[in-house]
Every structure is written in C-alpha cells, then in structure tokens.
Chains A and B, each alone.
Chain A
Amino acid sequence: MPLDTAPVTQVEDVKRGELEVKGVSKWFRSRRGIVQALDNISLRVAPGGFVCLVGPSGCGKSTLLDIIAGLTRPDRGRVTADGLPVTGPQRQRLVMFQESALFPWLDTLGNVMFGLKLVPGLTRRKRVDIAMEHLRLVKLERFAHAYIHELSGGMRQRVALARALAPDPRVLLMDEPFSALDALTREQLYEDLQVIWQARRKTVLLVTHNVREAVSLGDRVVLLSPNPGRVRETFDIDLPRPRDINDASISGYATLITATLKSYYTPEAVL
C-alpha cells in the first residue's frame, strides 16, 4: 500500500462507540427555585450511528450532551459507553462546541495537536503527522500556521472538527456546531461532515434546533420537548447519502417533524 494513502490513525474495531442513556434526569437550582431540566431520558446510539437530538431552546439538549460527555453528572439514571458507565470526560468521547472553543494562544496545528499530547505512546513527529492528516481532511492544511483570529467562522469549526477527530475518539458529540454560521458555509460543512463520517464511521450525536439540518445529517432524529426535557418521538431517516439539504425528500421529513414539534407547545409553554 503506498504510504500517502495509508491513514495514520487506524479505524479500530467498528463495533465500538455504542452509547446508551438510561433514565437520566437532571435538576438545576435557579433563582426561581429548583427547575427540572431533563426528565427520564433514555436513548441508544448504535456504534457508527448518526443521531440528531432536536428540540426548542430550554429542552435541555445541551445539558444532555454535557452529561454524555461526562462534564456534568446526572441526578438520576446513567450513561454507558460501550457498556462502561460514564464517570467523567474521556478521550473516547470528544465534543465540538457551538463556539469553536479553539485556543487563541496556539496556531491551527497546535490546536489540532492539543488532544494528541495526551494520547500515550505518540512521538512528536507522529503527532504532527496525525494533525496534518486531519487538517487535510478538513481542507485546511494551508492554514496550519494561521492563528485562530485569522480564520473565518466556518474555518474555525473545521479546525474544531479536525481537533475532535485527531485523537481518534469512538464518539463525536456536537453541540449546535453550525448554528453561528451563515447558510452557505453551513451547507458546505454538512457535505464535508457526511463525507468524513462515511469515511471514518464515528458514532455521532448532534444537538441542534434546526430540523432540516437534523434530517440531512442523521440516521435517526430524536425529538425532545421542553420544560422539562423529555424524549417525545424518534424518526428514522431512510434516505440515501450524501444528502443535500435542499432536496425535496428532506423537506418532506422536516415538515412532518416540525409539525410534531409544534404540537408540544402547550399554551403555558408558549407563555
């Protein structure tokens, strides 16, 4: 096999990357008293699956992602990854945040290499190779030595994607990573993300409030309703890939899901 086509990081056992959320509830203390954010949430993401969590603001979807990432503890219920309970953040589950959360004191390459420093057994040479490979994956190899403030919003999210993929996690958790981007940039990223996902087969859990985004990216779309967050319905999206967000079949699903979503707005929820 010629060297330049060999991936530096090997995709390990494809069966890994299973996520299971069982009966998770979470309460928060606020000035108005104790508020329940999540109520008895259960869901499963198959290894290599792409699940989108959709819900209006206040449905606790970011809190749920935090719990799965291990950044927050649930008050009730539990999360397991490949059968093991999640007790804290772990390199097997990396997060992409809404703001890119890239470090301004490092250049692009330094950011992608950040997580690799903590992977045992990698030489510096190897870390640079892996980071460059992932910058090529998101088509930013020419910007390896640019500083973060010199990149556009879309480029920053590409770097964040490369940074999350570089340590070869089994699961990628995405917290509204495209919501701050303009429509054109966003559509380009949908395309790229699908290509990368099909090549790498990571388990992806993406949180969004954009129904069309969820339909064009996910195998499954899980609907959450707000106050407190509950799983309401699950839609399997049976469409060929790569999908185009402007496709009529996407609109079909999106219309159906949006209608269901609106039905959750009880009068007091609108208030």
Chain B
Amino acid sequence: MTVETIKRAVMATAFFAALLGAWQLMAWSGRWSPVLLPSPGSVVDYLQSAVADGSLPEATLVTLRRLLIGYAIGVAIGLPLGLLSSAFRFVEDTMGVMALGLQTLPSVCWVPLALLWFGQTENALLFVVVMGTTWSVMIATDTGARTIPRVYARAARTMGSEGLDRWVRVVLPASLPFLISGMKQGWAFAWRSLMAAEIYVTILSGFGLGQLLHYGRELNAMEQVIGIMLVIVVIGLLADKVLFAPWERFLHRRWGTGERTA
C-alpha cells in the first residue's frame, strides 16, 4: 500500500460518502414525500428484510441463472459467427449484414414475438437475452479478427502453420483482446435485455430482480425500487471484476497495454 493508493481510496470514499450525505439531507429536509424520495435508511431496511425473507436472494438467483444461460448461448453463437464472417465474404454479406441490422434493434422489441412463440416461460426471456447478446458479440469478434496484424498470419504460414492449427494457435490468441471486449460488450447487452424483459413480462416460472423492481413500482414502494437498482449495479460491477478483470490483467501483462499514459 503506497501513499498514492491510500490517497485514491480516501478520495473515492469521501466522494461516495458526500453523495450519500446529500441524499440523506434531501430526505430529511421533508420537501419531498418519502414515497418519491425514500431515505437511505429505508432502502437499507428494505434490503435487510428482503434478504431475511429470502425474496431477494431467490430473485437474484433466478435472474443470474437466466443471464448466464442466455449469455452463454449468445456467445456460443456470436463468437464463431464473428470469426466466420471475418474470414468468408459469403458470411459477411449475409449474416454480417443481418447482424448489423438486428444489433440496432433494442432487444425489448423481441418481447412481443417471444411471448407469442414461447408463452410466459423461461424460454421467452432466454430468447430475448440471446437476441440481445449474439449480434453484438458477433460484430465485435468480426471487427477484432480483422484487426489482427497480417504479419502474424504470414509468419505463421512460413513456419508451416496452416488451417486449423493457424486458427487455434494464431488467429484466436491474436484476436483475444477483441474477443474479450466483444464478450464484455455482449455481457452488458445481455444484462440490459434481461432487465428490460423482466420488468416488462411476468413469468410464472420465477420472479427475477426486474420483476421485484416492477412490483416495487406497483406498490409505490420506492425504497424497494432503489434497493433493487443498487443490487443490479452491484451485480454488474461484480461480474466485471469476477468474469473479465482476470482476462484483462492477463492481456495487459502479455501485450503490455493498459498503462496509464497521463
């Protein structure tokens, strides 16, 4: 722990403490009804009771399960498609064009169709998440694989690396930085689509965080809404730390990137 890191930690803590303090002061001032602006204390109370009665952990599990399955399917489809469209003009001109179009479509727009096709089931939500993930992962992978310096492939070919060997030992590792950023972008898209879908659709097979948030609104329980929003933020941050930070550290160590220039 250097003085520098302590200084940075103190500054960050002070910033968030000030934010929290301002919120508390606004709640105390009484200018706004507690229905519109619940105090930090009431949010904490809600979170405590929701953990105690099991509704929050259960909703978190339901949501995370949907997210992980949908994301995994989206990556499993998008990543190979991206590699293919970077390599074959035919795929680029067909799937690539379709992906560009579909990526601009907010994935909530799939909800009406998903409900028709799958009914009020898990599959409807999964479908929305997969649609939100696949195309952005595909496009990011495609862009990445095209950006690989050509000299890598040339060097590999002279050393006798062709076909599958070249894909596995050169193209894939060379595009790793882009694959990671593509997967990260896919994760953000998956998370957003799932929340939108959960708020929009009531599924009988399980209450997720989005649904808890929705019912918070129906019941005029803003401390519940804010509490769930905090949980969603925390999960997003944790996912970044747990899923992607180790990979990014690996990349920075090998490629020598990511050093602050200022």
Q: Which residues does A use to contact B, with CB under 8 Å?
A: 69-71, 89-91, 93-95, 97, 99, 101, 103-106, 114-115, 117-118, 147-150, 163, 167
Question: Which of A104, A115, A149 has the most chain B CB atoms closer than 10 A to its own CB?
Answer: A104
A89-B160, A91-B160, A118-B165 known; A101 and B155 CB under 8 Å?
Answer: yes
Mask for B145-181, Cβ within 8 A of A = 1, else 0? Answer: 0000101101111111100010001100110100000
B152–A69 CB distance below 8 A: no
A sample of 29 inter-chain contacts (CB < 8 A) reads A69-B158, A70-B158, A71-B154, A89-B158, A89-B160, A90-B160, A91-B159, A91-B160, A93-B158, A94-B159, A95-B154, A99-B151, A101-B149, A101-B151, A101-B155, A103-B152, A103-B173, A104-B254, A104-B255, A104-B256, A114-B156, A114-B159, A115-B160, A118-B159, A118-B165, A148-B256, A149-B254, A149-B255, A167-B160
Contacts of B158 in A (CB 8 A): 69-71, 89, 93-95
Task: Answer whether residue B253 sits at the interface, using C-beta atoms and an 8 A cutoff.
Answer: yes
Contacts of A97 in B (CB 8 A): 151, 154-155
Residue of B nearest to A173 (CB): B158
Contacts of A70 in B (CB 8 A): 158
Residue of B nearest to A98 (CB): B151
Contacts of B169 in A (CB 8 A): 114, 117
Contacts of B176 in A (CB 8 A): 105
Residue of A nearest to B250 (CB): A105
In angstroms, Cα B144 to Cα A177, docked, is 27
> How many Å from the CB of B165 to the closest CB on chain A?
7
Tell me the count of chain B residues lying within 8 A, CB to CB, of chain A: 21
In angstroms, Cα B160 to Cα A115, docked, is 7
A103–B154 CB distance below 8 A: no
In angstroms, Cα B161 to Cα A93, docked, is 13
A147–B159 CB distance below 8 A: no
Contacts of A99 in B (CB 8 A): 149, 151
Contacts of A117 in B (CB 8 A): 169
A118–B161 CB distance below 8 A: yes
In angstroms, Cα B158 to Cα A105, docked, is 19
In angstroms, Cα B157 to Cα A97, docked, is 13
Residue of B nearest to A117 (CB): B169
A103-B170, A105-B174, A105-B176 known; A95 and B256 CB under 8 Å?
Answer: no
Contacts of A106 in B (CB 8 A): 173
Contacts of B255 in A (CB 8 A): 104-105, 149
For the complex of A and B, the 7 pairs showing the least CB-CB separation, nearest first, are A149-B256, A115-B159, A101-B155, A105-B173, A118-B160, A101-B151, A91-B160
Question: Which of A93, A101, A105 has the most chain B CB atoms closer than 10 A to its own CB?
Answer: A105
Contacts of A148 in B (CB 8 A): 256
Residue of B nearest to A149 (CB): B256
Contacts of B254 in A (CB 8 A): 104-105, 147, 149
Contacts of B173 in A (CB 8 A): 103, 105-106
Contacts of A167 in B (CB 8 A): 159-160
In angstroms, Cα B165 to Cα A46, docked, is 33
In angstroms, Cα B169 to Cα A118, docked, is 11
B174–A89 CB distance below 8 A: no
In angstroms, Cα B174 to Cα A103, docked, is 8
A150–B256 CB distance below 8 A: yes
Residue of A nearest to B252 (CB): A149
Contacts of A115 in B (CB 8 A): 159-161
* Sample of 14 further A-B pairs with CB below 8 A, known A91-B159, A101-B149, A167-B160: A91-B160, A93-B158, A95-B154, A101-B152, A103-B152, A104-B254, A105-B254, A106-B173, A114-B161, A114-B169, A118-B161, A118-B165, A147-B253, A149-B255
In angstroms, Cα B176 to Cα A101, docked, is 17
Mask for B236-262, Cβ within 8 A of A = 1, else 0? Answer: 000000000000000001111000000
> How many Å from the CB of A111 to the closest CB on chain B?
10
In angstroms, Cα B256 to Cα A50, docked, is 36
Contacts of B253 in A (CB 8 A): 147
> How many Å from the CB of A208 to the closest CB on chain B?
18
> How many Å from the CB of A213 to the closest CB on chain B?
21
> How many Å from the CB of A177 to the closest CB on chain B?
12
Contacts of B157 in A (CB 8 A): 71, 89
Contacts of A149 in B (CB 8 A): 254-256
Contacts of A147 in B (CB 8 A): 253-254, 256
> How many Å from the CB of B103 to the closest CB on chain A?
28
Contacts of B154 in A (CB 8 A): 71, 95, 97, 101
In angstroms, Cα B161 to Cα A62, docked, is 21
Contacts of A94 in B (CB 8 A): 158-159
> How many Å from the CB of B114 to the closest CB on chain A?
39
Contacts of B155 in A (CB 8 A): 95, 97, 101, 103
